[in-house]
Structure 1
Amino acid sequence: MEMELLVELVAFVLIGLAASGVGMLMRRTVARRARARTEFASGGDLVAVPCQARWRQGVRRRFFGYGKLAPDADGTGAVFKAPLRRAVALPVGGRAVVRESWRPGMRVLEYSAPDGQRIDFQVYDAEADRAARFLRIPDPADFA
């Protein structure tokens, strides 16, 4: 009986170590890809930001989906494009609060549009600033 318990404990520890290693490798890969997209965008190219979006009210309030945040065709606003769904133009001129996410390496942009809509975007740390620029959120350094 004690031997079985010891074997189960060792198996549990080994599975935990393997999961920890895979998680660390995945976070490192995601961070490297985010940095590469940011460097590519610094050359003046427009690169969409992969994210998750959640509407807090309205028809889509239960929708929490993966997609990409990108500038719209005329460059004055942003569009959220999810696979197999119609692109959604986001209202311009709102405010956002950036906070840490419960997921390591991620941040949440809590966007409040002028019309009262509230949308949360979960983005990678390296791409939070670019996502804020797509939403036309003023940089605090502009007011200093």
Structure 2
Amino acid sequence: MQESKYQVINWKRWKDTKRLLEETRDQLKDDRKAITYSKEMPGTNHMSVIQRYNKILENTDIYDGYIHAYKIVIERLENCIATLLNQEQRKAIIIYANNPGKGESGMREQEALKQGFSRAKFYEVINQSFNILDTVLALESVQKTDAGLIQD
């Protein structure tokens, strides 16, 4: 699978994951919604729950790392789509991203038809778009030698 196709398929899911991580982090940092507890609560299980909760609260900066990683990947993809593709190609990519599943090709084709693409034209444009995006998004392996870098 092409790298750009993989990224477009997962684009919406990554945005949702990033949003969910931000909401979770913000809720954990919000003292008004914090769980109130007392160390004098009866039972021994409460202490382990309290310790786990405190550990989660101390490590909210881990969320920032994940959010930053998702942000980089999402912004890179969106910038490539905005700068490298023309209007027609952007429409096709958005249609593809909104219906990414293997079983959703019928829905993709219906949406493309509503946007003025024939089935053949849609897949031609989407393949051109993926090829253009791959020039930037595809990761190439690089070998290090004594004389410098050699690309495979």
TM-score > 0.5, shorter chain as reference: no
Query: TM-score scaled to structure 2, two decimals?
Result: 0.31
Query: TM-score scaled to structure 1, two decimals?
Result: 0.32
Structure showing greater radius of gyration is 2
Structure with more relative contact order (C-alpha pairs < 8 Å, separation 6 or more): 2
